[in-house]
């Protein structure tokens, strides 16, 4: 059955389900593989012990021999063949729609292969301690290395830079321009006279690179820079990234990137994301009292998810608030105040948080040993567990505080923010099970309220 990638990623109504039978099948295949490949088994144990992550969450794809499982078997589980991706001759790609599961490739070969997805393949290879050959040029859209071949069980690793197929290109003509894009995005100006000007300049910069690069290549370069900027400002992220870097993994286990936005610039940020190729998914409204909403977006090629927050009213929740210009409002709710204090996430403030797929309880304990506390979980279900790292404080520019004094914050809050800074960004510890792709709307509202800068200022002053 042939389908467009958007149809596979986004079921009608964004009705995200849970699929325990599919997860059991995939875990069984991984377990069999680990029994037959000692290198993979040791790496899996190290991932769990040293990085608090599951081997499962580092799998890019799995290749199964058609003598092990048939097309009918996969389709009975709910997988659909997708013929829109480049793949080796004699192979078919199967994707499970509406879930977080990695692709399964059915092959007429006799081998089983699991490909891992480190953020940078050369870093991963360096940390294996082996002299392994990498297929594909530096900065290519797709590179691959065989890590261990034991009998019919092959462990490989791949690097993706804006590509969702499975063929290493013979030549790469855009590497120089892609490299320039990464450099430009990493070094781009983030502080402007007005945030409106900054958003405009950012869009123009993106469009400049889109003249010579595919959208997915520009998107990959942009988000590598976004994660790096966030990591420099977030201690919890820096520590967890360091744990994962000791195995050469990077942040290949990212789940979603969260931007906080002003009402004034929200539609323009959505325009930036759409220009990069993101597709809008479900919208959130956390309730009249909470006063905020969000648009979830996903990139169908790069496998990036964005959670874009903004203050909205009860009346606006029935509208397509992400694509319509929002009116001015005198009051600032949690998201609006955060932006007023720090600036737009798309600019100087950076990501509000990056969510990394971790082993929830173990990551909580292991990070605590590195003096990184987790806040109370705001989701704790079999299929979804979520918690923010403890609040981290950041200095607030005096001119921003001056604009807020009396009208938005009181003198006591002004003094606290000026002297001690205010809460800024987080690492999100997230564990997904059974393929669940959605978010917990009610509990997200609770944690957003709990991390309101004004509430934090009262706690500090208590």
Q: Give the chain as a 3 state SS string.
A: CCCCHHHHHCCHHHCCCCCHHHHHHHHHHHHHHHHHCHHHHHHHHHHHHHHCCCHHHHEEEEEEECCCCCHHHHHHHCCEECCCCCCCCCEEEEECCCCCCCCEEEECCCCEEEEECCCCHHHHHHHHCCCCCEECCCCCCEEEEEEEEECCEEEEEEEECCCCCCCCCCCCCCHHHHHHHHHHHHCCCCCCCCHHHHHHHHHHHHHHHHCCCCHHHHHHHHHHHHHHHHHHHCHHHHHHHHHHHCCCCCCCCEEEEEEECCCCCHHHHHHHHHHCCCEEEEEEECCCCCCEEEEEEECCCCCCEEEEEEECCCHHHHCCCCCCCCCCCCCCCHHHHHHHHHCCCCCCCCCCEEEEECCHHHHHHHHHHCCCCECCCCEECCCEEEEEECCCEECCCHHHHHHHECCCECHHHHHHHHHHCEECCEEEEEEECCCCCCCCHHHHHHHHHHCCHHHHHHHHHC
Percent of the chain scoring above 90 in pLDDT: 77
Query: CA–CA separation, 6 vs 264, rounded Å?
Result: 29
All CATH 3.10.180.50 domain ranges in the chain, comma separated: 178-461
Q: Do 220 and 119 meet the contact criterion of CB atoms below 8 Å apart?
A: no
Judge whether residue 187 has pLDDT over 90.
yes
Judge whether residue 307 has pLDDT over 80.
yes
Beta partners for 394?
422
- Specify burial of residue 269 (Cβ count, 10 A radius: 0-12, 13-18, 19+): buried
So what's the pLDDT on residue 317?
78
Query: CA–CA separation, 259 vs 265, rounded Å?
Result: 12
All CATH 3.10.180.10 domain ranges in the chain, comma separated: 5-160
Q: Give the least confident one: 111-125, 217-231, 442-456.
A: 442-456
**What is the topology classification, in CATH, of domain 178-461?**
2,3-Dihydroxybiphenyl 1,2-Dioxygenase; domain 1 (3.10.180)
Query: CA–CA separation, 423 vs 393, rounded Å?
Result: 4
* Section 356-371 average pLDDT: 97
Judge whether residue 445 has pLDDT over 70.
no
Q: Please tell me which residue, 322 or 386, carries the higher pLDDT value.
A: 386
So what's the pLDDT on residue 363?
98
* Section 33-56 average pLDDT: 98
Q: Please tell me which residue, 248 or 315, carries the higher pLDDT value.
A: 248
Q: Please tell me which residue, 402 or 305, carries the higher pLDDT value.
A: 305
Q: What is the pLDDT of residues 20-29, one digit of tens each?
A: 999 999 999 9
Judge whether residue 448 has pLDDT over 70.
no
Beta partners for 355?
256, 428
Judge whether residue 288 has pLDDT over 80.
no
Judge whether residue 456 has pLDDT over 60.
no
Judge whether residue 458 has pLDDT over 80.
no
Angle of helix 411-420 versus helix 453-461 axis, rounded to 10:
90
Percent of the chain scoring above 70 in pLDDT: 91
Q: What is the pLDDT of residues 217-245, one digit of tens each?
A: 999 999 999 999 999 999 999 999 999 99
CATH class belonging to 5-160: alpha beta
Average pLDDT, the chain: 91
* Section 330-349 average pLDDT: 93
Q: Give the least confident one: 133-147, 200-214, 410-424, 431-445.
A: 431-445
So what's the pLDDT on residue 324?
83
So what's the pLDDT on residue 460?
30
So what's the pLDDT on residue 2?
42
């Amino acid at each position: 059955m042939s389908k467009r990638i958007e149809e596979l990623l986004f079921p009608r109504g964004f009705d995200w389900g849970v699929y325990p039978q599919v997860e059991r099948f995939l875990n069984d295949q991984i377990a069999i593989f680990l029994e037959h490949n000692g290198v993979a088994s040791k790496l899996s144990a190290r991932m769990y012990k040293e990085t608090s992550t599951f081997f499962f969450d580092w799998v890019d794809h799995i290749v199964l021999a058609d003598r092990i499982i048939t097309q009918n078997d996969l389709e009975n589980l709910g997988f659909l063949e997708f013929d829109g991706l480049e793949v080796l001759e004699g192979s078919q790609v199967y994707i499970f729609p509406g879930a977080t599961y990695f692709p399964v490739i059915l092959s007429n070969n006799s081998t089983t292969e699991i490909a891992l997805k480190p953020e940078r393949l050369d870093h991963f290879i360096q940390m294996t301690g082996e002299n392994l050959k990498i297929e594909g040029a530096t900065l290519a859209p797709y590179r691959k290395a065989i890590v261990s071949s034991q009998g019919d069980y092959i462990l490989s690793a791949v690097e993706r830079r804006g590509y969702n197929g499975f063929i290493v290109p013979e030549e790469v003509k855009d590497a120089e321009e892609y490299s320039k894009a990464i450099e430009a995005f990493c070094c781009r100006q983030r502080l402007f006279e007005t945030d409106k000007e900054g958003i405009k300049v950012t869009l123009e910069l993106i469009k400049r690179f889109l003249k010579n690069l595919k959208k997915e290549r520009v998107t990959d370069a942009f988000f590598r820079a976004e994660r790096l900027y966030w990591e420099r400002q977030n201690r919890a992220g820096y520590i967890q990234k360091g744990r994962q870097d000791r195995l050469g993994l990077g942040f290949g286990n990212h789940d979603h990137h969260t931007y906080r936005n002003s009402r004034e610039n929200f539609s323009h940020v959505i325009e930036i994301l759409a220009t990069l190729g993101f597709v809008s998914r479900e919208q959130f409204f956390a309730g009249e009292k909470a006063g905020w909403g969000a648009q979830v977006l996903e990139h169908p090629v790069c496998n990036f998810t964005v959670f874009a927050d903004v203050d909205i009213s009860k009346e606006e929740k029935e509208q397509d608030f992400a694509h319509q210009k929002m009116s001015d409002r005198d009051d600032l709710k949690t998201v609006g105040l955060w932006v007023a204090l720090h600036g737009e996430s798309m600019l100087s403030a950076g990501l509000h948080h990056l969510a990394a797929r971790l082993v929830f309880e173990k990551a909580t304990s292991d990070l605590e040993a590195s003096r990184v506390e987790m806040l109370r979980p705001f989701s704790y279900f079999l299929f979804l567990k979520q918690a923010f790292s403890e609040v981290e404080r950041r200095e607030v520019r005096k001119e921003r505080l001056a604009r807020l004094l009396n009208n938005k914050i009181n003198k006591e809050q002004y003094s606290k923010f000026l002297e001690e800074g205010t809460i800024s960004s987080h690492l999100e510890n997230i564990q997904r099970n059974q393929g669940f792709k959605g978010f917990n709307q009610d509990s997200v509202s609770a944690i957003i309220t709990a991390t309101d800068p004004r509430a934090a200022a009262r706690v500090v002053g208590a």
